Structure 1
Amino acid sequence: MTLTLFIAVVVLLALGFPVAFALIISAALAVAVGGRYPQLVVFKEMFTGIDSFPLMAVPFFILAAELMSGGALTAVLLRFAAQFVGHLRGGLGYANVLSLTLFSGISGSALADAAGPGSMMVKMMDKAGYGRAYAAALTSATAIVGPIIPPSIIMIIYAMQDEQVSVGGLFMAGFVPGLLIALAMAGVNWRISKARDYRSGDPRPPAREMLVTSIKALPALLLIALILVGIRFGVFTPTEASVVAVFYALVCGKWIYRTLSWKALPAIAARSAMLTASVLLVMAASAAFSWVLTVEGVPQALSQTIIDWQLSPWMFLLAVNLLLLLFGIFMEPLPGVMILVPILAPIAAALGIDPTHFAMVVIVNLTLGMITPPVGSLLFVTSVATRVPMNALLRELPPFLWAHLAVLLLLTFVPALSTWLPHTLGF
């Protein structure tokens, strides 16, 4: 069964099958070849994999992000970010990084960030004389912050796979790594803008205009604080926070910004439903795939092999980084978390590695796979949304990849960057 499973998934992915279908078909083929279980067990495990109360937060956070986007939040945050840095050398690049970082605190999705505010920033940078391919590469590299700064869908899924961590703790743990990535992207932008002399002709806005713009952006920015403060002080659970976020987004779009119409709600609900369905389908497929691995004893055998190597915690983390970087080239983050975390997290705990620290290493590593070809879903979304050819985008990507790897190594060897904030706040 195991050999059939791996051969089938590799072949199907190479043929261009969507990840979810490749996992489902591979699991079904493995069960059929093994002959020990009925085919019905594959569908049973798919439904079992998504039968979870914490998963209810996923559709609500997606809906909240869609409501905020439909309520002109994207334009408000872009103006807010651009007013502080837009006049500097490389200023629109900094505005790109800042706006995507702010928006990530609402969407929780790298793909949504790249297709929404990211594509708008690429157009602005192109008109200002920046290379369009460079702007698209900067957008792709920065949008990775989306799943790392809370709220984050991948963190919710991770907490379901590892009982040693909580959703609230992971939300808090994502702040510092997310900000480090944003700073690294800003550093790359500074270096390249200086070398290519990317400048903005727009002067800094008057203080009065900046104050007005900041006040307009305040309701949108408060959503992040509302979610995190509410979770920290036990006002609501992460699942309940997602529902609160939906109502808050509706109030902001309809009555504060007054740009969200009732007629737009069916389309917003339909987009949210499609995104939710795609996420849950991947999760269900991953659950079936993981079940085959479990009944075949692959996690246990792999765990024992790694333990027999007697690696130190640091060598284990380096080995995990290498494994996940290779895994992320071919697999999306969500199935990566569901397949690998149940195997690797217990080993990390046995070696004395802090569960929150290990979680952030895994999450940052797997999200990095979204901008590494050949799969690189974020690259494809950015290429389509900005109409930049893939080969041109890839030529501009290496400096950003090196910066990401530097941040990953820093997070690996300095656990406090991931653990200080959640431990300080009592998680």
Structure 2
Amino acid sequence: MAEILFPALFVLLALGLPVAFAMAISVFIALSFGSSYPHLVVVKEMFAGLDSFPLLAVPFFILAAEIMTGGAVTMALLRLAQSLVGHLKGGLGHANVVSSAMFAGISGSALADAAGPGTMMIRMMERGGYDRAYAGALTIASSVVGPIIPPSITMIIYAMQDQAVSVGSLFMAGVLPGLLITAMVLLANARVSHRRGYASGAPMPPLRDILRIFIYAIPALLLIVLIVGGIRFGIFTPTEASVIAVFYALVVGMAVYRSLRLRDLPAIVLRAALTAGAVLLILGAARAFAWILIIEGIPQFLAQTIIAWDLSPIVFLLAVNLLLLIFGLFMDPLPGVMILVPILAPIASALGIAPDHFAIVVIVNLTLGLTTPPVGSLIFVVSSTMRIKPSTLIREMPPFFVALFLSLMVITFVPALSTWLPRLSGF
């Protein structure tokens, strides 16, 4: 069946079908022409892929992010970021990157970062004299930290595929790599801003004003502490944390910032439901796709083959990076995790690579695929929301491709970035 499954998938993706539909239809085609299994097994496997208590965290975290965005949190974080770095050369660009890092601690999604604070920052940067396409490219690069700084939807899905890690340990493992990527994108923006003369016209605000803005943003920032701290100290599970995050977001939006009204909730819930539905549909289709790979014995065959090559851990990580970079050109992170992690994680463990370290390498690598054509979802989100041609955005991306690739190499070859905090936190 595999000889039918993969060609069918690539053809359907080339025709422009959404990833979830391409995977599900390719499974149906493989079953129709390559096996005697009934087609009902596809529906069964898709349902099995969604029948999971930990998976409930995904829609609740998405809903919490939507509520926080509707409750003036985005503007509070933007104001804080601008007060901290807006006075520097390229200051509005720096504010874009810093606000994305802050919002990543709420949304858990790169696409939410780009569509939320990213869109607002592009408009602000354009009014500040930045090229519109450059502002869009910077937003694409800065949004990469969404699934890396906790909470992260991708990490929740990864932990379901690899029993050697937990959601809590992955949340802690993503903090330093996320900050590293943020710093590298800041450096890239500083270099381009210096070369193009993107100067800030705003003076550094008085310390009293910065403190006032920081205090105003504390309720938004506390959500990160609530989620990570609660999971770390065993107060609640990641699924329970996602529900608590929803209630916290409601309280903050209605009682603290007072910008969220009851009549806003139906539209917010609808947006969250559509986003969660799309994510869960991908996960269900990926489960059916992975089922065919398993019954065909492909994971076992690849594992035995790679182990027989007797690769060193460093060479294996380089090979995995190359594989994932290519895979990410055509596939979003969630199906990538569902399909590849059950194959690669046991091999990494057999080679003595720390599970948390390998998980972060995989997640960062697949997330970079969101920034690269032809499937790069971040490119198309920014293109559609800001009406910028994808080709124009891609021409502005090379400095950020370099920054992101260097970050990936540091994360790959410095395991302590991913393992120090989980070990320190008791995971």
Q: TM-score, normalised by structure 2?
A: 0.99
**Alignment partner, residue 296 of structure 1:** 296
What is the letter of the counterpart of residue 373 of structure 1? Answer: P
Query: Hey, what does 2:110 align to over in structure 1?
Result: 110
- Alpha-carbon distance, 1:213 to partner: 1.2
Of stretches 195-204 and 15-24 in structure 1, the one that deviates more from structure 2 is 195-204
Letter in 2 for 1:236: F
Q: Deviation of residue 131 (structure 1)? A: 1.1
Provide the residue aligned with 2:326 in structure 1: 326
Shift of 1:383: 1.2
Aligned to 1:28: 28
Q: Distance in 2 between matches of 1:186 and 1:148?
A: 17
1:162 and 2:162 correspond = yes
Q: Which amino acid aligns with 2:16?
A: G
Deviations 1:132-174 (A, max 9, x none): 1111101000101000000000000000000000000000000
| 1:253-298 superposed Cα distances (whole Å, 9 cap, x missing partner) | 0000000010000000001111110000000000000001111111
- Offset from partner CA, 1:225-250 (integer Å, 9 cap, x none): 01111111111111100011000000
Partner amino acid for 1:338?
M
Q: After TM superposition, give the deviation of residue 92 of structure 1 in Å.
A: 0.6
User: In the TM superposition, what is the alpha-carbon distance from 1:310 to its structure 2 partner?
Assistant: 1.0
Structure 1, 126-135 or 169-178: larger mean CA deviation: 126-135
Q: Distance in 2 between matches of 1:168 and 1:77?
A: 25
* Mapping for residues 113-132 of structure 1, pairs under 5 Å: 113-132=113-132
Structure 1 position 15, deviation (Å): 0.5
Distance in 1, Cα, partners of 2:171 & 2:17: 32
Alignment-derived partner of residue 39 in structure 1: 39
2:202 is aligned with 1:208: no
Given residue 324 of structure 1, which amino acid in structure 2 is its aligned partner?
A: L
Q: Secondary structure at the match of 2:329?
A: helix
Alignment-derived partner of residue 237 in structure 2: 237
With 298-307 and 165-174 compared, the bigger mean Cα shift is at 298-307
Show CA shifts across 1:334-379 (max 9, x none): 0000000000000000111111100000000000000010000011
Q: CA deviation at 1:208?
A: 2.8
Cα distance between partner residues in 2 of 1:313 and 1:195: 40
Partner of 1:53: 53
* Residue 349 of structure 2 is aligned to residue 349 of structure 1: yes
Cα deviations across residues 3-27 of structure 1 (Å, max 9, x unaligned)? Answer: 1101100100010010000000111
Matches within 5 A, 1:138-177: 138-177=138-177
Question: C-alpha distance in 1, partners of 2:361/2:152?
Answer: 15
Q: Name the aligned partner's letter for residue 356 of structure 2.
A: T
Provide the TM-score with structure 1 as the length reference. 0.99
1:401-422 deviation digits (Å, cap 9, x = unpaired): 1111111111111100100000
Letter aligned with residue 162 of structure 2: D
Distance 2:280 2:15 in 1: 23
SS in 2 for 1:310: coil
Query: 1:154 is matched by which residue type in structure 2?
Result: T
Any gaps of 5 or more consecutive residues in structure 2? Answer: none
SS at match of 1:147: coil
Amino acid aligned to 2:114: A
Which amino acid is the alignment partner of residue 216 of structure 2? K
2:193 corresponds to which letter in structure 1? S
Which amino acid in structure 1 is aligned with residue 214 of structure 2? S
- CA deviation profile, 1:11-44 (whole Å, cap 9, x unmatched): 0001001000000011111111123211111110
Residue equivalent to 1:279: 279
Question: Which amino acid is 2:180 matched to?
Answer: L
Q: What amino acid does structure 1 have at the position aligned with 2:256?
A: I
Q: Give the C-alpha shift of residue 72 in structure 1.
A: 0.8
In the TM superposition, residue 321 of structure 1 has moved relative to its aligned partner by 0.3
SS at match of 1:144: helix
Matched, 1:406 2:396: no
Map of 2:82 onto structure 1: 82
Alpha-carbon distance in structure 1 between the residues aligned to 2:384 and 2:360: 30
Instruction: Say whether 1:383 aligns with 2:383.
Output: yes
**Offset of 1:211 from its aligned partner?**
2.1
| Paired position in structure 1 for 2:3 | 3
Alignment deviations for residues 52-77 of structure 1 (CA, whole Å, 9 cap, x no partner):
11001001100000000000111111
Offset, 1:215: 1.0
Deviates more, 1:28-37 or 1:401-410: 28-37
Deviation, 1:210, is 2.1
Q: Secondary structure at the match of 1:330?
A: coil
Partner of 2:198: 198
| Cα RMSD for the two superposed structures | 0.7
Equivalent residue of 2:74, what SS? Answer: helix
SS at match of 1:116: helix
Partner residue of 1:336? Answer: 336
Partner residue, 2:363:
363
Aligned counterpart, 2:12: 12
Aligned residue-pair number: 427
Amino acid at match of 2:171: F
Q: Structure 1 residue 304: deviation in Å?
A: 1.2
Deviation at 1:204, TM superposition (A): 2.2
1:268 aligns with 2:265: no
Q: Which amino acid aligns with 2:331?
A: M
